[in-house]
Amino acid sequence: MRVYSLFFVVLFCQTALFGQELLKQTKVDSISVLFDYGSSAIKNKTQLLQQLNALDVGNNGRIELFGYTDTIASIASNRQLAFQRMAVVTKVLKNSKLKKCVIDSTNHNETHGNRSLPDAQFRRVDILLYKIEPTFEMGLPINLKINFEPGTDNLLASSTPTLVKLKTLLELDPGLIIQLNGHVCCDNDQVLSDKRAERVKSYLIENGISAKRMSCRGFSNSQPLVEESSEENMAINRRVEVVFSRP
């Protein structure tokens, strides 16, 4: 059994208020795989495989792929080309010792935002490799950095990084189960607190996490973290917490 610990006696108060990082992510290395014009064939798969097998990401690893193209041809065809390039890189990764790593892919195609370099520099896939270390306490509510528009269960864009980390953590450790606790500010609204927890659950389901590993509970406005004397404080109380456990 894996045990995740934290110096929570010292950190719990500030963690409960401002949110806790679920994962410590350390960048191990980055590799750029270059392609010929219009091609999705890797020039030297053997060399790439050797590079990947030489890397150490510990027991848990995460990989980000970013696919790019030049600006020749249509956006639609370049989007497809970038997808194909990431697919062949993913295949090599799955044949390496990093095959158990979580892989997140982003298709940037020709939207790289840099026109000062020659087109050949953008016919590539970037591989970013990270070592992942969980940093949380089992059985305690953890205030996620997840927030909502006032009076709704609409997630703010600022919540995305934490949602991705939560998804990644659950992928890395299939034995974890979670309870999602929804909260509102200001007025009693049990239904909305339930819906906020369910919204986070829906995001995780849509990104491949089994619904059987999750439960939801709403607390209305019964557990404010701070006095609601300002909009900033009200936003802190509009939140979802997570409690980790094992079956």
The model's confidence at residue 20, banded by pLDDT at 50, 70 and 90, is low
Sketch out the chain's domains with CATH numbers: 8-21+137-245 (3.30.1330.60), 25-134 (3.30.1330.60)
Angle of CA points 241, 166, 18, to nearest 5°: 45
- Whole-prediction pTM: 0.62
In the chain, the amino acid numbered 201 is K
Q: Largest Cα–Cα distance of the chain, in whole Å?
A: 61
Question: Is the separation of the CB atoms in 100 and 57 below 8 Å?
Answer: no
Q: Summarize pLDDT for 206-215 with one digit per residue, the tens.
A: 999 999 999 9
Q: Summarize pLDDT for 106-143 with one digit per residue, the tens.
A: 999 988 666 677 888 899 999 999 998 878 888 989 88
Structure tokens at 65: 């792929």
- Report the pLDDT value the prediction gives residue 102, as an integer from 0 to 100: 86
